C-alpha cells in the first residue's frame, strides 16, 4: 500500500505547486504592468553636486523616459551615506524608492561603523551597478608640489602638516588617502566633511591642501585650472585625462582604488518590478547621450544583472573590510 500511494502523493504535490504557480502568475504580471504607478525617488546619501548626486541625476532623467514617470533626486547627506541608506532600507518595497548606493554605503560602512540601523546586504535588493569611477588626487594650485614624488617628499619633510579633505570618514575618498598614507609612508591629516561638495568648496578656497575625490566632482575644476591634478587612483590612466599618471606609476607602486555606484531597492521588492527597473537602467546606460555625459565626468557606465551586482557587493565587502581594518579607521 505504501508503494502505491507515494506516486499519487508526489503527483498531487506537483499538481498543487503547478496550480499555485499559475495562480500567482497573473499577479506577478499585473505588478510588473502597473509599475511604476507614481514618480520614482532616488535617494542620494550625499550632498548635491557630488559624484553620487551627479550620476543619479544623469541616469534618473533617462530612466524616467524609459519608465514613463518622473524620477526625483532626494539628497539625504550625513554619516557617510548612512542616513539616506537607512531611509531606503525602511521604505516601501514597491520599487518607487531607490538608493544610489556606493562602495561606501554597501562595502565599507559595515566594517567602519560599530552599529548600523540597517544591513547593507539583507535589507536591500540590488538592481545594477551604474558606473565605475576613478578617484583623482588634486591639490590647490598654491601648494608647492606638482608631482606625486614631490608631494611625498614635502609630506615627509613636514609630517602632520599637510591636511586632506574628504566627503566623510570611511568613504572611499577618505580611505584612498589613508591607503596613500600607508603605502607612501607619510602622515597627512584627515579633515572630514558631510559630502564631497562642501569638502571641494574648502579645497577650492585653499582651506585644505589636497583631496582624493571622485573624478566627476573635480574634473571641471581641473579643466578650468582651479585645481592641479597629480594622479588617478586606478591601475590604468583615465581616457578623460590621459596625460595624468596613475599613482602607481607616479611613485607608489601597487596602489589601486576604484569607486563604484549602483541602484538598489528595499529588500522584498517584487521580482517583476526589479526586472523592469533593471531593463530600464540598462537601456539608459546604453544611450549615447548617457555615455557621453558619463565620459565627460570621467565615469564608465557599467550595467549588469541583479544577481551579478549582489555577488559583486559581497566580494567588495570582504575586500574593503580588510582595508578598513588595516587603516584603523572607525566612525561613530
Q: Tell whether 50 and 191 lie within a shared domain.
A: no
Residue 30, in any domain of the structure = no
With a pLDDT cut of 90, the percent of the chain lying above it is 68
Q: Where are the beta strands (DSSP E) in the chain?
A: 40-44, 71-75, 97-102, 124-139, 163-166, 189-192, 210-214, 228-232, 258-266, 300-301
For 79: left if phi > 0, alpha if psi spans -120 to 50, otherwise beta; the answer is left
The string of pLDDT tens digits covering residues 67-95 is 999 999 999 998 889 999 999 999 999 99
Residue 18, in any domain of the structure = no
The region of weakest confidence among 142-151, 244-253, 278-287, 323-332 is 323-332
Select, from the ranges 44-53, 125-134, 165-174, the one with the highest average predicted confidence (pLDDT).
125-134
Q: Among 250, 276, 298, identify where a domain stops.
A: 250
User: Residue 156: which CATH number?
Assistant: 3.40.190.10
pLDDT of residue 5: 45
Q: Tell whether 122 and 271 lie within a shared domain.
A: yes
Q: Residue 246: which domain range?
A: 134-250
User: Residue 295: which CATH number?
Assistant: 3.40.190.150
Nearest to 53 by CA among 71, 32, 38, 74: 74
145 close to 308: Cβ distance less than 8 angstroms = no
Q: Tell whether 269 and 323 lie within a shared domain.
A: yes
Residue 302, in any domain of the structure = yes
290 close to 59: Cβ distance less than 8 angstroms = yes
**Given pLDDT bands bounded at 50, 70 and 90, which one contains residue 103?**
very high
Number of domains in the chain: 2
**Given pLDDT bands bounded at 50, 70 and 90, which one contains residue 253?**
very high
Nearest to 233 by CA among 126, 323, 331, 115: 323
The region of weakest confidence among 128-132, 192-196, 285-289, 309-313 is 192-196
Q: Tell whether 181 and 232 lie within a shared domain.
A: yes
d(C-alpha 276, C-alpha 313), whole Å: 21
Residue 51, in any domain of the structure = yes
d(C-alpha 264, C-alpha 252), whole Å: 35
177 close to 139: Cβ distance less than 8 angstroms = no
Residue 21, in any domain of the structure = no
Cα distance from N-terminal residue to C-terminal residue, the chain: 66
d(C-alpha 302, C-alpha 209), whole Å: 32
Residue 15, in any domain of the structure = no
Kindly report the three-state secondary structure assignment for every residue of 206-248: CCCCEEEEEHHHHHHHHHCCCCEEEEECCCCCCCCCCCCCEHH
What is the pTM (predicted TM-score) of this model? 0.76
The string of pLDDT tens digits covering residues 1-60 is 334 444 555 555 555 555 555 544 444 455 556 899 999 999 999 889 888 999 999 999
Mean pLDDT of the chain: 89
93 close to 268: Cβ distance less than 8 angstroms = yes
Residue 31, in any domain of the structure = no
Q: Tell whether 195 and 245 lie within a shared domain.
A: yes
pLDDT of residue 49: 85
Q: Tell whether 187 and 127 lie within a shared domain.
A: no
Q: Tell whether 174 and 127 lie within a shared domain.
A: no
274 close to 302: Cβ distance less than 8 angstroms = no
d(C-alpha 72, C-alpha 51), whole Å: 16
154 close to 145: Cβ distance less than 8 angstroms = yes
Q: Tell whether 149 and 243 lie within a shared domain.
A: yes
Q: Tell whether 168 and 235 lie within a shared domain.
A: yes
Q: Among 227, 250, 273, identify where a domain stops.
A: 250
pLDDT of residue 141: 97
Q: Among 220, 250, 280, identify where a domain stops.
A: 250
Average pLDDT over residues 263-278: 98
Residue 44, in any domain of the structure = yes
Write the DSSP string, 113-127. BS--SS-TTTTEEEE
Amino acid at each position: 500500500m505504501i508503494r502505491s500511494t507515494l506516486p499519487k502523493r508526489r503527483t498531487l504535490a506537483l499538481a498543487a505547486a503547478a496550480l499555485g504557480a499559475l495562480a500567482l502568475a497573473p499577479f506577478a504580471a499585473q505588478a510588473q504592468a502597473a509599475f511604476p504607478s507614481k514618480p520614482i525617488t532616488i535617494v542620494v546619501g550625499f550632498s548635491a553636486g557630488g559624484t553620487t548626486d551627479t550620476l543619479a541625476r544623469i541616469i534618473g532623467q533617462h530612466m524616467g523616459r524609459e519608465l514613463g514617470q518622473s524620477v526625483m533626486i532626494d539628497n539625504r547627506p550625513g554619516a557617510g551615506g548612512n542616513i539616506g541608506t537607512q531611509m531606503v532600507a525602511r521604505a516601501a518595497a514597491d520599487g518607487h524608492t531607490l538608493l544610489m548606493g556606493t562602495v561606501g554605503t554597501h562595502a565599507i560602512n559595515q566594517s567602519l561603523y560599530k552599529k548600523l540601523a540597517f544591513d547593507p546586504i539583507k535589507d536591500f535588493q540590488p538592481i545594477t551597478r551604474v558606473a565605475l569611477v576613478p578617484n583623482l588626487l588634486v591639490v590647490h594650485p598654491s601648494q608647492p608640489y606638482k608631482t606625486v614624488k614631490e608631494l611625498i617628499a614635502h609630506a615627509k619633510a613636514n609630517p602632520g602638516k599637510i591636511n586632506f579633505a574628504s566627503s566623510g570618514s570611511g568613504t572611499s575618498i577618505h580611505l584612498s588617502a589613508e591607503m596613500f598614507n600607508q603605502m607612501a609612508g607619510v602622515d597627512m591629516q584627515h579633515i572630514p566633511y558631510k559630502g564631497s561638495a562642501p569638502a571641494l568648496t574648502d579645497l577650492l578656497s585653499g582651506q585644505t591642501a589636497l583631496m582624493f575625490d571622485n573624478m566627476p566632482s573635480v574634473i571641471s575644476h581641473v579643466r578650468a585650472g582651479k585645481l592641479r591634478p597629480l594622479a588617478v587612483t586606478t591601475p590604468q590612466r583615465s581616457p578623460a585625462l590621459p596625460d595624468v599618471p596613475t599613482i602607481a606609476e607616479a611613485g607608489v607602486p601597487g596602489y589601486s582604488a576604484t569607486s563604484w555606484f549602483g541602484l538598489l531597492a528595499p529588500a522584498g521588492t517584487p521580482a517583476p518590478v526589479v526586472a523592469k527597473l533593471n531593463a530600464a537602467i540598462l537601456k539608459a546606460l546604453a544611450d549615447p547621450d548617457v555615455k557621453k555625459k558619463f565620459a565627460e565626468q570621467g565615469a564608465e557606465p557599467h550595467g549588469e544583472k541583479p544577481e551579478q551586482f549582489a555577488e559583486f557587493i559581497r566580494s567588495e565587502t570582504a575586500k574593503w573590510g580588510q582595508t578598513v581594518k588595516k587603516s584603523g579607521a572607525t566612525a561613530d
